Amino acid sequence: MTDQITIDHQDVASGYLAVWNETDDDARAALAEQVFVDAVSYVDPLLDVQGRDALVQAIGAVQQQFAGWRFSPAGAVDGHHRLLRFGWELGPAGQQPAPAVGFDVAIIGDDGRIEHVLGFLDRVPA
């Protein structure tokens, strides 16, 4: 393990949200390959997923459940070393307050891709 890699935490967060917003299955899988390691783990109160392919499928299921909704950043991206923390909102474009709000913490691997994600939900739709 090395902490000598240079990480643009904003770029990693932007790439992460781009994967969650990509509705085309093939394009989402291609983006996910750039953002996540193959053995990525993702855990939040509603999902516990192991592996990039499983995460890509889970994201597709979330998109079906909340059709037309988009993730957008909420607040500043905070990062140091190989750690990243950022808030997000999920809802129809322009709806405020957003129906879903949370934040994620990610651990970034030596190659600059995300290895682990811990998600927290502050507000979810009823």
pLDDT under 50: residue ranges of the chain:
1-3
What's the pLDDT score for residue 20?
98
pLDDT of residue 4: 65
Tell me whether residue 1 is in a domain: no
Domains contained in the chain, number: 1
Whether 2 maps to a domain, the answer reads no
The whole-model pTM stands at 0.93
Which residues are within 8 A (CB) of 45 and not within 5 positions of it... i.e. 6 or more apart? 119, 120, 121
Is 3 a member of any domain?
A: no
Q: For residue 8, give Cα distances in angstroms to 97, 100, 104, 112, 121.
A: 29, 26, 16, 9, 25
CATH number of 51's domain = 3.10.450.50
Domain span at 110: 9-123
- What pLDDT score does 2 carry? 46
pLDDT at 6: 87
Length of the chain: 126
Q: Is 92 within a domain?
A: yes
Whether 26 is in a domain gets the answer yes
Q: How confident is the model at residue 17, as a pLDDT?
A: 98
Q: In the chain, where do the E strands start and end?
A: 36-43, 48-50, 70-80, 83-91, 100-108, 114-123
